[in-house]
Chain A
């Protein structure tokens, strides 16, 4: 779009940045137009959900478990100074449910799924597979983009719940090895302080992160420029942009949820 422009309104960099924002806006609007148009590719959505889960499960299990265990270990000295180690399960549970599980899931997914969507669609763009869909009267946006964004929006909240459970198991392992707390006692204590607002906030975060990862990955891949270099750039931009937006959304959602908490 900007390549043919010779006259710049605000200078080359700013003009290109504004055009990129406009392109992203058009892509975003197109998603909502296409999602309700024609038949939904349910089979492809299920396939993508499976692929997302399959790709991230091991990594999320490992990082979730280690996060729970390490966070518990790091929190113990501060609590033991006040003789409050019995609060450890609820403190860890609040931290995991409210912040750690959604963020860990989102960051792992941005790296694993976002880059994979960016590279896959980018590669399809440069090898003319997307053009091939278009000329055979199939809507590539509906088949490739809508399915991936919907799949991410569904699968990442599920992964986030799984990550919460695995992190709590990591925390439990640490607590039981140090304090000898039983499984039932740990989880009773852990869930005592968790409210519905905490759970809904986490779900809202995971939905927002999933949608962002799917959209950003698809946008970068779908608009990849020609050549293999474009595929690498698309994958890289998908990860970097998703991570930046995830932190921006984190701040916004926490502010909104705190408003309701008061």
Chain B
């Protein structure tokens, strides 16, 4: 039976999560709760396991120990159709967009749609594709191939591709990485628009403090495999903790 989450109820729960790659201990007892309709930003330096955390949430990686519940289901225990059903409710925006480069923008967007929702007419497919492209402001690129798009456009199309299945949860992996400051602001706005329009619960992985401040309802600071501090932007950075302060100073001085 489908669970219906109300605002304030936990949609994502991570408890005492551990993940290692050989001798590299990436996550060492991570705890995190994200409630319905919340934008949670996971901040941290490169290589601290932020992406690993959301890849565990969508079942691309498996934790060594601990629990990871998304929409009430322990992801590591799902397989086959159960995992597929859960993935239909989760949108994952990749750091490098991961657009299918042999397909046009239209085909990229149609690809998950026609394979997951049966008996759609051509008119319905076109309507949905155009609707999400319009939502990300790139309707004019519909017949272009990814190689013809800019970095920011590729990010937007990547987000559009996840939105076409109307997910309940959005996972953004470094949405502003490698983009110029203006495009970063546009992506931040888009993340907030997606939250409003599609009523999503989101986790945004980033090391960009502007992105964190603009998009996050709460922020969790990941350092040395654990969350050092969780709270609003002001709560997290109003601290004497040297490592958090240096992260803040470095980001804004840069």
Q: Which of A127-135, A158-166, A181-189, A213-221 contacts B (4 or more CB under 8 A)?
A: A127-135
**Would you call B60 an interface residue if the criterion is a C-beta within 8 Å of the partner chain's C-beta atoms?**
yes
Contacts of B112 in A (CB 8 A): 136-138
Q: In the assembly, what is the distance between CA of A133 and CA of B165, in Å?
A: 13
**Would you call B180 an interface residue if the criterion is a C-beta within 8 Å of the partner chain's C-beta atoms?**
no
**What's the minimum C-beta distance from B154 to chain A, rounded to whole angstroms?**
11
The reply to whether A138 and B98 contact each other, CB–CB distance below 8 Å, is: no
**What's the minimum C-beta distance from A33 to chain B, rounded to whole angstroms?**
12
The reply to whether A136 and B87 contact each other, CB–CB distance below 8 Å, is: yes
Contacts of A124 in B (CB 8 A): 100
Q: Which of A1-57 contact B (CB under 8 A)?
A: 3-4
| Contact partner, A137, options B84, B94, B96, B100, Cβ 8 Å | B84
The reply to whether A4 and B58 contact each other, CB–CB distance below 8 Å, is: no
Contacts of B161 in A (CB 8 A): 132, 136
The reply to whether A128 and B94 contact each other, CB–CB distance below 8 Å, is: yes
**Would you call B115 an interface residue if the criterion is a C-beta within 8 Å of the partner chain's C-beta atoms?**
yes
**Would you call B172 an interface residue if the criterion is a C-beta within 8 Å of the partner chain's C-beta atoms?**
no
Q: Which of B88-103 contact A (CB under 8 A)?
A: 88, 90, 92, 94-96, 98-101
Contacts of B60 in A (CB 8 A): 131, 134-135
Contacts of B98 in A (CB 8 A): 127-129, 131-132
Q: Which of A113-171 contact B (CB under 8 A)?
A: 124, 127-129, 131-138
Question: Which residue from chain B places its CB closest to the CB of A39 in the assembled complex?
Answer: B115
Given A4-B22, A127-B96, A128-B96, CB of A135 within 8 Å of CB of B90: yes
Q: In the assembly, what is the distance between CA of A138 and CA of B100, in Å?
A: 13
**Would you call B116 an interface residue if the criterion is a C-beta within 8 Å of the partner chain's C-beta atoms?**
yes
The reply to whether A135 and B92 contact each other, CB–CB distance below 8 Å, is: yes
Q: In the assembly, what is the distance between CA of A53 and CA of B90, in Å?
A: 39
**Would you call B28 an interface residue if the criterion is a C-beta within 8 Å of the partner chain's C-beta atoms?**
no
0/1 per residue, A89-108, Cβ < 8 Å to B? 00000000000000000000
Q: In the assembly, what is the distance between CA of A134 and CA of B96, in Å?
A: 16
Q: In the assembly, what is the distance between CA of A3 and CA of B90, in Å?
A: 30
The reply to whether B22 and A137 contact each other, CB–CB distance below 8 Å, is: no
Question: Which residue from chain A places its CB closest to the CB of B20 in the assembled complex?
Answer: A4
**Would you call B111 an interface residue if the criterion is a C-beta within 8 Å of the partner chain's C-beta atoms?**
yes
**Would you call B162 an interface residue if the criterion is a C-beta within 8 Å of the partner chain's C-beta atoms?**
yes
Q: Taking each of A3, A136, A137, which has the highest tally of chain B beta carbons within 10 Å of its own beta carbon?
A: A136
Interface size on B, residues (CB 8 A): 24
Contacts of B58 in A (CB 8 A): 135
Q: In the assembly, what is the distance between CA of A134 and CA of B59, in Å?
A: 9
0/1 per residue, B94-130, Cβ < 8 Å to A? 1110111100000000011001100000000000000
Question: Which residue from chain A places its CB closest to the CB of B171 in the assembled complex?
Answer: A135
**What's the minimum C-beta distance from B21 to chain A, rounded to whole angstroms?**
8
| Contact partner, A131, options B84, B85, B94, Cβ 8 Å | B94
The reply to whether B101 and A129 contact each other, CB–CB distance below 8 Å, is: yes
Contacts of B21 in A (CB 8 A): 4
Q: Taking each of A124, A129, A133, A137, which has the highest tally of chain B beta carbons within 10 Å of its own beta carbon?
A: A137
Contacts of B85 in A (CB 8 A): 137
Contacts of A137 in B (CB 8 A): 84-85, 87-88, 112, 115-116, 165
The reply to whether B165 and A136 contact each other, CB–CB distance below 8 Å, is: yes
Contacts of A136 in B (CB 8 A): 87, 92, 111-112, 116, 161-162, 165
**What's the minimum C-beta distance from A7 to chain B, rounded to whole angstroms?**
13
Question: Which residue from chain B places its CB closest to the CB of A120 in the assembled complex?
Answer: B102
| Contact partner, B100, options A4, A129, A135, Cβ 8 Å | A129
Q: Which of B150-198 contact A (CB under 8 A)?
A: 161-162, 165
**What's the minimum C-beta distance from B18 to chain A, rounded to whole angstroms?**
14
Q: In the assembly, what is the distance between CA of A131 and CA of B88, in Å?
A: 14
**What's the minimum C-beta distance from A161 to chain B, rounded to whole angstroms?**
29
Contacts of B90 in A (CB 8 A): 135
The reply to whether A135 and B22 contact each other, CB–CB distance below 8 Å, is: no
**What's the minimum C-beta distance from B173 to chain A, rounded to whole angstroms?**
9
The reply to whether B22 and A3 contact each other, CB–CB distance below 8 Å, is: yes
Q: In the assembly, what is the distance between CA of A127 and CA of B95, in Å?
A: 10
**What's the minimum C-beta distance from B238 to chain A, rounded to whole angstroms?**
36
Question: Which residue from chain A places its CB closest to the CB of B22 in the assembled complex?
Answer: A4
Question: Which residue from chain A places its CB closest to the CB of B60 in the assembled complex?
Answer: A131
Question: Which residue from chain A places its CB closest to the CB of B108 in the assembled complex?
Answer: A132
Q: Please provide the 4 A-B residue pairs with the shortest distance between their CB atoms, ordered closest to farther.
A: A136-B112, A132-B98, A128-B98, A135-B92
A-B contact pairs, 6 of them (CB 8 A): A129-B99, A129-B101, A131-B94, A135-B90, A136-B116, A136-B165
New contact pairs (15) apart from A129-B98, A129-B101, A137-B84, CB-CB < 8 Å: A124-B100, A127-B96, A131-B94, A132-B92, A132-B94, A132-B98, A133-B111, A135-B58, A135-B60, A136-B92, A136-B111, A137-B88, A137-B115, A137-B116, A138-B112
